[in-house]
Structure 1
Amino acid sequence: MSLGVFEHRPKSLPPHPPVSIAVLLVVEDAIKVAWSIIRQLPANEFDLASADEDTITQKLHEVLIDELFDTGTVPGFNGDLIAKGTREEKLRSFNSKHLDKMPDLIFGVIGRDVYMRTQDGIFIECKPVDASHTAGVHCCDKGITRFVRGDYAWCMLSAMMVGYAADGYTIVPKLTDALRKSTTITTRVAPTKCSQSRPVLFSQGAHVSVHERNFSYVETGDPAPDIMLRHIWLNRS
């Protein structure tokens, strides 16, 4: 059987078109519901108080995919809108100098005609925030920086940061102060409450920040536009 001859169809160059706020809110809602489930697990099954970053993120991913995806629990969190999420998928940086960058979570969005499908989706980086994991070191230097320098989501105009927050740790002032003091991240818009995202039990309301990116696209030579980050901090206690 002949496979025929296919004409290569050139695609638009990066950056990709924005992901709609409606889709972002669906994923945020799913994360919040998943967190409420995790919070209710008995300590002998999962001890949130003592679990480290990787263990929490693994559990979050499992609950999102195994218990919530395509179940109808979270409206829109299904295969009609969202491609099943992956954890620590290996991807390349914007210039291919690094081939094994691993964002914590990625959710694809159905029906997008983009330059690179492998680099399209909602990229999520997760970090603990507490006395031993400061917002400056972990959220900024080990999280936001990866989006700014083109390790993650370099085709995208937005991404997410999820914080596993200890008691007393809130986006304002912890994250805002850390960004203000940062010498490596240029913040265009400090974290600001999203009017379409409300705090729920065990989850702070989403905040939005905008940051300058410090790389240019290999494909065009054009500087990458600013990236908008949505911050969701989930309360551990």
Structure 2
Amino acid sequence: MSLPAIRPRPDQIAELTRGLELPLPKLSAVHLEIIAEGLLHAFSQVRASSPTIVMSGSEAEVTALLEARLNGMVEEDPLWRQLVLCVARGKESVSYDGSHLEKRPDLSIYLSGKHRGFPLVVEAKIIDAANSKTETLYCDNGLRRFVDGEYAWGNREAYMIAYVRDGSSIGAKLTPFLSNAMAQSPPGYLIEDLPAAIGAGKMDLAHSRHGRNFIYCGSSALAAQPGPISVWHLWLL
């Protein structure tokens, strides 16, 4: 049996985006910081209850625990419940032109009052240089998916989280790597702004900005370009 051809599916995109103007409006920076605090809190609880999995388990094992804890917080934490409806792991989604119907971002955070077809997407990666899980892999197999329109193509923001096992930090590893990429022509990962730290240092949180060159399906007008995406990076120790 042959596999389905990879081809644009404008009918899929038309149905998903019916009545919407893309990209969707920006999310509040305050809300995005609350999301980071929630992710950090959930991870801290998971690390305390399942330290072996957090330190040596697979990415999927850690993310599954994180999903369960984040959904538990919806029931337990009034502030989190006001912002978040639910969190889904591996929720199937379509790419920007419908060529792929079964993209599975690690976590999809469904926000109160926001369109259910475009959750806040979170992609997770382990950082552990001794096992060849480096910032290169983080960017090639994670960050690039937002730039290429595989994930979060209707949004202006997305999240990358790192499960750090070797003491790495955004400032020491990710920022120099993206700085080198930025010097390329064209810039690697279409980097426009290098990671800028957020908050008072209580967590390793920063955001970078990246261009996106694809055009929304069914239109070639300038207004149909997605514009840049702000990727929030949270590295968890």
TM over 0.5: yes
1:42 deviates by 5.3
2:136 corresponds to which residue?
136
Aligned-partner Cα distance in 2 for 1:143–1:42: 25
SS of corresponding position for 1:15? coil
Q: Deviations over 1:101-138 (max 9, x none)?
A: 111111122223x5xx31x221100001111201012x
Gaps of 5+ in 1: 1-9
Tell me if the contact between 1:161 and 1:231 (Cα under 8 Å) persists in the aligned partners.
yes
- 2:192 is equivalent to residue 188 of structure 1: yes
Tell me, yes or no, if structure 1 residue 27 matches structure 2 residue 35: yes
* Contact in 2 for aligned 1:198/1:205 (Cα 8 Å): no
Match of 1:100, as an amino acid?
A: E
Amino acid at match of 2:214: F
**Pairs within 5 Å for 1:5-84:** 11-41=19-49, 43=51, 46-66=52-72, 68-72=73-77, 76-78=79-81, 80-84=82-86
Cα distance in 2, alignment partners of residues 125 and 188 from structure 1 = 20
- Output the amino acid matched with 2:170: I
Instruction: Note the C-alpha offset of 1:83.
Output: 1.6
Comparing both structures, which one devotes a greater share of its residues to helix? 2
Distance 1:21 1:219 in 2: 31
TM-score scaled to structure 2, two decimals?
A: 0.83
Q: In structure 2, what is the Cα distance between the partners aligned to 1:109 and 1:48?
A: 26
Give the conservation status (yes or no) of the 8 Å contact 1:206–1:231: yes
Conserved 8 A contact 2:108-2:119: yes
Aligned length: 210
Query: CA offset at residue 30 of structure 1?
Result: 1.1
CA RMSD across the alignment = 1.7
Distance in 2, matches of 1:104 and 1:133, equals 17
